[in-house]
Structure 1
Amino acid sequence: MSLLLDPFTVVFVQRALLTGALVAVICGVVGTWVVLRGMAFLGEAMAHGMLPGIAVATLLGIPPILGAAISATGMSLGIGMLQRRGRLSADTSIGLLFVASLALGVIVISASRSFATDATAILFGDILAAASTDVLTLAIVAVITLVVAFLGHRSFVAITVDPRQAQLLGLRPQLAHVLLVGLITLAVVAAYQAVGSLLVVGMLLGPAVAAGRWATRIPSTMALAALIGTASVAVGLLISWHAGTAAGATIAFVAIASAAASAALHGLLAQISGRRRALVERTS
């Protein structure tokens, strides 16, 4: 067992675990709302929407997370503008900007002949290279996420159940939706450093879906999703270390696998419980 856990004695792996745990907390909270409101496509679009900003920032020598934030924010504003002025549905607006952003990012990357290594880090993350500043940034983002989720909880529940009723109750559903989109943008930008722009949605969806099988209340679902996400990071780092695989991709795969494992275990326990009830009914 000690040989298996030896990677966690290395300083940069410990930092990667802490970084991943903070990402898991952020994605656990935001991912729960993404699953409940069916906003997975928006999360995916945000992840791809960061690509041109990250690419340009890398070429200019400025912090990539700044470029990611600007690009993702532009994506959010663009979706809203197309819906209001272009009279397009949410899916159509997201789809148009999703493809445009991805294409623009690839164009920027392909235009630079010295971009191969950086492109890999952008797409699949480099959690093992996380610095102390990354940990501090994620800690701040985690606090902001928790505070906004707490303060906006009632409004978020209302727009999830019945937006029209939320309007009648004076809960300002449009503002609540903007705040929720803002949280998704914040989570995607913060998490890309760990698992990359292409795989960040795995951390948003996998643990939240897995937790939804066992928790009945939204706060407990968020807490369980954060725990499952943290466990996914730890397991992913161990597999990556011993198997020599890419850390970010491995973590994202484990996070998605947690949803499948949760569904299988929940179904198995339901079958066992059903058989026990049937046996009790026969013997009574």
Structure 2
Amino acid sequence: MPSASPPRWSHDLLPGRTAPPRAAPSYRGPAVDWLTHPFSFEFMQRALAAGVLAALTTSVVGTWVILRGLAFMGDALAHGVLPGIALAVLLGFNPVAGAAVAAVVMVGAISLVHRATRLSEDTAIGLLFVGMLALGVILISRRGSFAIDLMAILFGDVLGTTRGDLLLQGVAAALALGGVALFYRPLLVLCFNEQKAAALGLRPRLAHLVMMGLITLAVVSSFQAVGALLVFGLLIAPPATAVLLARRVPTVMVVAAALGISEVVIGLLLSYHFDTAAGATMSGLAVAVFFLVLAGERGWAAVAGRRAQATAEDTLG
């Protein structure tokens, strides 16, 4: 067995953090050891906790993103936090605080542009999406370690997760779940019939603002685990897969959370054993599972259709 060496996952580390030691990536053992050995290290335990909290938050909030048709907004926010993160890193502040400020500014700017002009909301989102992303890259380019900083911010720092990071993620997850529980009915009616929501006195504008707040919370609290770029994968892929498997909204949220957590665990194991970027592996796996389920559903529907047709022909014949 090769000797233990520091991880080469430099793209998983934010500036100022050092990589914790781990066993050589070529470690192989029995099936149980393959599954459990990586999590014998404290840094992997923290990474697992961070990934699970991120998956829980993004899956529950992402369900409403799918139902409301706000995937583009979620993608734009995931990219729009970049200048806030970059500025916080440059000034020595907590990147989460910078991401939160940038997200709030972006949501407010989108609303302002949409209301002050004849432009559609999608156009406003697109303009702010590109503008904020460009500003973030410009700010990062002011540092000497441009490439490393950009990779770290875009693709996450799950291996460098601290106890403080976990505390913030735990609070964010509790707020997200509490917000969904508190505003469940207004959010549900808003997603399917905004006019009915207004007629029932459910204040659709407030419900929309709550939804924007939940998306912001999910993106900001989860970028550490998978990065500002790939957080969109966990926000969209597990809920989209769950919609293929379930019909009732509460069931969709539960299935999405179960899928997201499973994909985080498997993604971390794969990234450990095959020495790949943890955030990219988790997000990529989530998207791959969606297409596998979609293919399976279409295949099953085709088989069921042929059986029904054959039964009808036998009956008529």
TM range (shorter): over 0.9
Of 278, 295, 298, which residue of structure 2 is paired with 1:264? 295
Partner of 2:198: 167
Report the residue type matching 1:269 in the other structure. W
Alignment partners' CA distance in 1, 2:166 and 2:295: 34
2:34 is aligned with 1:4: yes
Q: Deviations over 1:101-137 (max 9, x none)?
A: 0110111111221343332210100111111111111
Kindly report which structure 2 residues correspond to 1:44-123, keeping only aligned pairs within 5 A, or say none: 44-123=75-154
Higher helix content, 1 or 2: 1
**Over aligned residue pairs, what C-alpha RMSD do you find?**
1.5
Percent sequence identity is: 47
Distance 1:152 1:253 in 2: 31
Distance 1:144 1:72 in 2: 17
Alignment of 1:240-259 (within 5 A): 240-259=271-290
Stretch moving more, 15-24 or 180-189: 15-24
Q: Cα offset for 1:4?
A: 2.0
Q: Following the alignment from structure 2 to structure 1, what is the Cα–Cα distance between the partners of residues 118 and 302? A: 48
Post-superposition offset of 1:153:
1.2
What's the offset of the Cα at 1:274?
A: 3.9
3-state SS, counterpart of residue 249 of structure 1: helix
- Residue aligning to 2:177: 146
Match for residue 235 of structure 1? Answer: 266
Residue by residue over 1:23-61, the C-alpha shift from the partner in whole angstroms, topping out at 9 and shown as x without a partner, is: 111111111111111111101110111011100100110
Unaligned 5+ runs, structure 1: none
1:124 to 152, 155, 169: 155
SS in 2 for 1:181: helix
Question: Which whole-Å deviations, capped at 9, do the CAs of 1:130-152 have from their partners, x for residues lacking one?
Answer: 11111111111111111111111
Post-superposition offset of 1:208 = 0.5
> Number of matched residues?
284
User: How far is 1:73 from its partner?
Assistant: 0.6
Gapped regions of structure 2 (runs ≥ 5): 1-30
Rounded to whole Å, the distance in 1 between the matches of 2:59 and 2:220 is 15
Residues 137 and 150, structure 2, Cα contact 8 Å, conserved in 1: no
Distance 1:131 1:169, change over 3 A: same
The TM-score with structure 2 as length reference comes to 0.86
Larger deviation, residues 161-170 vs 263-272? 263-272
- What is the CA–CA distance in structure 1 between the aligned matches of 2:231 and 2:126, rounded to whole Å? 18
CA distances 1:217-250 after superposition (whole Å, capped 9, x unpaired): 1111011101100111111111111111111111
Larger radius of gyration: 2
Residue 218, structure 1, aligned to residue 249, structure 2:
yes
